Structure 1
Amino acid sequence: MDKSKEIKTVLITGSSSGVGASACVAFAKRGWNVVINYSRSEDAAFALKEKCEQIGVNALVCKANVANEEDCKSMVNKTIEVFGRIDVLVNNAGATKFCDYNDLNGLNEKDFIDVYKVNVIGAYQMVKYAASHLKKVKGSIVNISSMSAISGVGSSIAYSASKGALSTMTLSLAHALAPEVRVNGICPGFIQTRWTKGFLGDRYESVKKKFENAALVGRTSLPEDIANGIVYLGADAHTTSGQMLTIDGGQLVNQGKL
């Protein structure tokens, strides 16, 4: 028997940077095979592959856009071809269209469709093709939603609505795939990432300070904080399914200070 096929494998979409990349490293430190997915950031994806391999594990890089069903199918098939199994699927890939909430004319039908194709339909398509493999090993799924799904506040109404749909779909999938596969989600608050800095621009430090003041723990999340939650739900929470874990430093319960 090929001993490499006995090593647990995690497939993380949208994982060339940020939370996804941190989760790849966290699983690699546990000795898991890692599948790194990117759609544009090829250099970052292969740099991450090298980092995971330096830790001592095998890593596979897959270029795929989860909005494309054939890409989802191909990524799952390639993972099985190389590693022989999928133990955890992390639906981390996300998209948005930045638009002020008061500007109802700022979003059109295509904007909503584009966001939903990645944040909701893409996650569903990944689950559809990975489900049979996850069932074989009694694996798990972790969907990365957002505090925006709870608060209704985020980069745009389309984004918040899509994350709300992803959270609800997480609960539906927990029912559909039970008892073999556990399905949970995470709702992060403000995260200190390159993506957040790019979105906020010159407002980054002031907005971060605002969320720090509202956080009960006095700070906002690093990508590693969310990655720790992903590993917990994916690998350790053996009797947890159908749950959404909020990781926001206590911002939501202290929202009166926002």
Structure 2
Amino acid sequence: MERKVALVTGSSRGIGKQIALRLAEKGYDLVINYARSKTAALETAAELEALGSKVLVVKANVGKPEKIKNMFHEIDETFGRLDILVNNAASGVLRPLMELEESHWDWTMDINSKALLFCAQEAAKRMEKSGGGKIVSLSSIGSIRYLENYTTVGVSKAALEALTRYLAIELAPMNIVVNAVSGGAVDTDALTHFPNREEMLAEAKRRTPAGRIVEAEDLANTAMFLLSDDASMIRGQTIVVDGGITLLV
């Protein structure tokens, strides 16, 4: 029986890597996408191959539609199919609102929201041929709550969540299930770019009703549920995984 294939964007490390490892354990072959760290991507690929997966490593800035098309061409040549898309790659300029420039806005929106549209279009064409598939994106609570220096990212994630709803409806006739996972503050490599990282983590831990901050594994757990057949009737939703912090006023 032909093995199923999953693409996880931005999967050389962090949450994307956690999800890729879990998919490998479930028997999927993997496409590992990265933008900068080839060494980390190859190390991740080696871990996945040790779990029995065939792995394709692709360098691509998913903020550029032509790079997305090239990536999917490589997927066609290597696997000839795609069953899962995890839209995880993210970036953003972290500055006060009054210091933002057009280039900061465009860079962040391209990678965090435009990428989902064009990756989903390409993925859907492949998924339809094999009877359907699953798409899950990673968002953050900055889409619905104010976070300091987070304007560009927060707005781009809000767009991602809105697009998730539209994709869920329009791709449903192809038997494609689309959802998102939104996390609270997670101590990953991405957070090192925050100018107020230590204060943010300490405050998040203090205020979270669950008594600890969210970990990458928590988001991976929820993503894996949404990628399973058990979640087939959950459509266009953004599941918040934040230990309850957004419930507080």
Report the TM range for the smaller structure's normalisation.
over 0.9
Match of 1:189 among 171, 184, 192: 184
Which structure 2 residue ranges, 5 or more long, are not aligned? none
Asked if residue 37 in structure 1 is aligned to residue 33 in structure 2, the reply is yes
Match of 2:170 among 176, 201, 204: 176
Provide closer, same or farther for how the CA distance between residues 12 and 47 of structure 1 changes in structure 2, counting only shifts above 3 A.
same
Match of 1:146 among 136, 140, 145: 140
Q: Which residue of 1 aligns with 2:113?
A: 120
Output the TM-score relative to the length of structure 1.
0.90
| Distance in structure 1 (CA, Å) of the matches to 2:190 and 2:63 | 19
Alignment of 1:55-74 (within 5 A): 55-74=51-70
Alignment of 1:105-254 (within 5 A): 106-136=99-129, 137-153=131-147, 155-179=149-173, 180-200=175-195, 203-236=196-229, 237-254=231-248
Instruction: Report which stretch shifted further, 214-223 or 36-45.
Output: 214-223
4+ long deviations beyond 6 Å: none
Asked if residue 46 in structure 1 is aligned to residue 42 in structure 2, the reply is yes
| Distance in structure 2 (CA, Å) of the matches to 1:205 and 1:145 | 21
Corresponding residue pairs, total:
246
Provide closer, same or farther for how the CA distance between residues 198 and 97 of structure 1 changes in structure 2, counting only shifts above 3 A.
closer
**CA-to-aligned-CA distance 1:154-194 (integer Å, 9 cap, x gap):** 54211111111111011011111113111101111111112
Output the TM-score relative to the length of structure 2.
0.94
Structure 1 residue 252, shift from structure 2 partner: 0.6
Provide closer, same or farther for how the CA distance between residues 31 and 155 of structure 1 changes in structure 2, counting only shifts above 3 A.
farther
Answer yes or no: is the 8 Å Cα contact 1:148–1:154 preserved in 2: no
Match of 1:22 among 12, 18, 25: 18
| Distance in structure 1 (CA, Å) of the matches to 2:126 and 2:146 | 35
Which structure 1 residue ranges, 5 or more long, are not aligned? none
Give me the CA root mean square deviation.
Answer: 1.5
Percent of aligned positions with the same letter in both sequences?
33
**CA-to-aligned-CA distance 1:128-153 (integer Å, 9 cap, x gap):** 11111122331011111211111132
Answer yes or no: is the 8 Å Cα contact 1:186–1:247 preserved in 2: yes
| Distance in structure 1 (CA, Å) of the matches to 2:139 and 2:172 | 21
3-state SS of paired residue (1:143):
strand
3-state SS of paired residue (2:227):
helix
